[in-house]
Amino acid sequence: MAEKKIGLQTVKFKNPPSIVSTASIVGPKEGEGPLREYFDLIISDDLYDEDSWEKAESKMAREAVRMALKKIGMTPDRVDYLFEGDLLNQITSSSFVARDLKIPFFGLYGACSTMTESLSLAAMITDGGYSDYAVAATSSHFSSAERQFRFPLELGTQRPPTAQWTVTGAGAAVVGRNGEGPYITYVTTGRVMDFGIKDANNMGAAMAPAAADTIIRHFKDTGFKPQDYDLIISGDLGQVGRQLTIDMVKENGYDISQNFTDCGIEIFDSDRQDVHAGASGCGCSAVVFCGYLYSQIKKGNIKRLLIMSTGALLSPTSTQQGESIPGIAHAVAIEGRI
């Protein structure tokens, strides 16, 4: 068995990589939500001085990486690898970041699981001795996602109660071989699960089986119990997906109901901001982690965090061809001290 692996899907780091800096940029709506004070930049117009939403998204993604590096006095030429992906077709948002910053680039596509996919790979490459500094990053934009995945905004289509609101935001984390934490101590890489959901307005339900599978696997592989974490947080399951996940995990003997929430629930005020089942998008767990959660770990308010971004691996074409929506979730354990 691979020497650094425990159980079937989990890696335990012997020299845990350190998240030495993060940055987050969000749109106006996210900037009115309960986590607003933790974001580095709230843009006042979702075009961000560009002439398309796609260009605005790429600019947010680029500036988040630049900002995370600048906080520690680093320049892009000192970064060994950029792990980044997004929701746009052919991940153009990320590719243009890589073009502008000239960092050796591994493009990823994990739908909304990208933040922990990129953190997982950056951590393995760093712990393995191939990198001193790697950046893990992702972004999404409400307006570019709506017109690509659902309907042109101009149509004014009504959204059902299970629908989620794609976060406009970008987050970037710098993973270093040396540093004073927070440390990445475990990663559990997800498998693709598909229980047959076909409704692109019910992504929470489509992703819940993958979320449950990864959480259960993480506990089985590590021997940890839910209470070993101060907080377990998923990416964008929303209200519907969160409850389904709690139920599925409980059927396997683990009760996470006391310390499990979802970035898509926390980022907006559901009473006030009318986002239906919650938020979604790669950017959701990215900005909640790079903004709020990172600061809470640094302050010692959260000592052990399990973050698990969740992705729905559909495309408009696959949905039109009658395919159901597969989901995936990658879990990353992050600790303030080791």
Amino acid type, 207: M
Nearer to a copy of itself by Cβ, of 2 and 73: the residue is: 2
> Minimum Å distance from CB 280 to a copy of itself?
14
Residue 201 engages a copy of itself in binding (rule: CB under 8 A): no
Distance of CA 222 to the CA centre of its chain: 22
- Give the pair of three-digit tokens for residue 306: 């399990």
Residue 146 engages a copy of itself in binding (rule: CB under 8 A): no
335 bridge partner residues: 183, 304
Cβ atoms of residues 168 and 8 within 8 Å: no
With contacts defined by CB under 8 A, name the span among 22-30, 135-143, 265-273, 307-315 that binds a copy of itself. 307-315
Residue 174 engages a copy of itself in binding (rule: CB under 8 A): no
Residue 321 engages a copy of itself in binding (rule: CB under 8 A): yes
> Minimum Å distance from CB 91 to a copy of itself?
5
Compute how many residues bind a copy of itself; rule: CB under 8 A: 62
Closest CA to 318 of 154, 169, 191, 206: 206
> Minimum Å distance from CB 111 to a copy of itself?
7
Closest CA to 235 of 336, 331, 141: 331
Residue 111 engages a copy of itself in binding (rule: CB under 8 A): yes
> Minimum Å distance from CB 157 to a copy of itself?
20
Residue 89 engages a copy of itself in binding (rule: CB under 8 A): yes
* Mode of pairing for the β-strands spanning 10-12 and 18-26: unpaired
DSSP H or E run through 296:
helix 294-299
Cβ atoms of residues 144 and 311 within 8 Å: no
Site for a copy of itself in 25-84 (CB under 8 A): 51-52, 54-55, 80-81
Residue 107 engages a copy of itself in binding (rule: CB under 8 A): yes
With contacts defined by CB under 8 A, name the span among 67-75, 186-194, 239-247, 284-292 that binds a copy of itself. 186-194
Three-class secondary structure of residue 306 per DSSP:
strand
What separation in angstroms does the CA of 308 have from each of 46, 94, 152, 165, 214? 27, 21, 30, 19, 8
Three-class secondary structure of residue 133 per DSSP:
strand
Binding site for a copy of itself (CB under 8 A): 1-5, 9, 11, 51-52, 54-55, 80-81, 85, 88-92, 95-96, 98-99, 102-111, 117, 120-121, 124-125, 127-132, 148, 177, 189-194, 313-318, 321, 323, 326, 328
